[in-house]
Copies of this chain bind each other. A is one copy, B any other.
């Protein structure tokens, strides 16, 4: 901040009006004669005046700030979510305060400090948010929305994809594609996407009385997909199918299969992912996957957010968006 910033008071003096008049011009709330409006705007221009949002928020109790708490900002399709959310929010007149979950700073550390900045609402994609945090936000009457995440034993606003059915669809597709010995590459067990997609997946197999596929844990990154695939085939080279809980891991696995293990995809091993990230469609991969509709999720999120802000007493919503099976070349269903 600068010590030499001009204030509404300065503008008022120069325009020969009261500070309150300047304020009225800039919050264009009430009736101001065109003449004084111009006078004020002129003076403001000359002084390069800009209203101080902090002072304004202090009075109005509205920061027009939305907090976003994310982990692994650069991974998978987090960047797309962030970009679209930010865009949407800006269009709606909000600005974004971004928090990066790291080893040092957990979501539970970050959420309170968002509160210090008076965010009007908070969206998080972090996998680990304690139920207590939800309580804190409830206490502060600040809407909290979990994006692409659930949280156990707690009613919180939630926008997610239909992970359970997506998992099920993946299992069905694999079965129809003729996969006999499948492996499931998951994320950490405490993430809701892994839980839900995995549950749907396993139930899909069991429905057909097939043996439960082996599960191996990755961390959603390309490299972990690669490594875990190597490990899998090291243990059992008769596997013929992979369901990866994220496209990025699927792609890592494909590279391992093709360029490290000397296997062909889909001839030797069929692979299906989840998310449909840009990159899944690349001709180098042509990944069959379960698509989640990020645009829709973002739109629903911002709409929900606005509803929360308009009606503070609104009850919690849990929005689930549909997923679709997208068939490309890495796994194809034989009819």
Please tell me if A73 contacts chain B, counting CB pairs below 8 Å. yes
Candidates B52, B72, B100, B112; contact of A50 at CB < 8 Å: B112
B117 touches A95 (CB 8 A): yes
Closest residue on chain B to residue A81 by CB atoms: B74
A335 sits at the interface (CB 8 A): no
Most buried by B among A5, A53, A83, A254: A83
Q: From A118, which residue of chain B is reached at the shortest CB distance?
A: B1
Known: A55-B58, A116-B51. A142 touches B95 (CB 8 A): no
Is the C-beta of A31 less than 8 angstroms from some C-beta in chain B?
no
A233 an interface residue at 8 Å Cβ cutoff? no
Q: Does A99 contact B (CB under 8 A)?
A: yes
Minimum CB–CB distance for A163 against chain B, Å = 22
Selecting from A84-92, A144-152, A174-182, the interface stretch reads: A84-92
Q: Chain B residues with Cβ under 8 A from A95's Cβ?
A: 97-99, 113, 117
Assess whether B74 is in contact with A80, with CB atoms less than 8 Å apart.
Answer: yes
- Residue A279 lies at the interface, judged by CB distance under 8 Å to chain B: yes
Q: Does A216 contact B (CB under 8 A)?
A: no
Q: Could you tell me the distance between the alpha carbons of A104 and B163 in the complex, rounded to whole angstroms?
A: 34
Residue contact A82 to B74, C-beta cutoff 8 Å:
yes
CB distance from A129 to the nearest CB of B (A): 18
The distance from the CB of A76 to the nearest CB of chain B, in whole angstroms, is: 10
- Interface residue ranges, A against B (CB under 8 Å): 1-5, 48, 50-55, 57-58, 61-63, 65, 68, 72-74, 78-80, 82-83, 86-87, 90-91, 95-100, 102, 104-105, 112-113, 115-118, 120, 136, 139-142, 222, 254-256, 258-260, 278-279, 282-285
Having A54-B117, A82-B82, one finds 19 other A-B pairs with CB under 8 Å, namely: A1-B62, A1-B63, A1-B118, A2-B141, A3-B61, A3-B141, A48-B140, A50-B112, A51-B116, A52-B118, A53-B117, A54-B63, A68-B98, A74-B79, A79-B79, A90-B104, A90-B105, A95-B99, A95-B113
Closest CB pairs A-B (n = 9): A259-B283, A74-B79, A2-B141, A79-B79, A86-B100, A73-B83, A54-B54, A1-B61, A98-B98
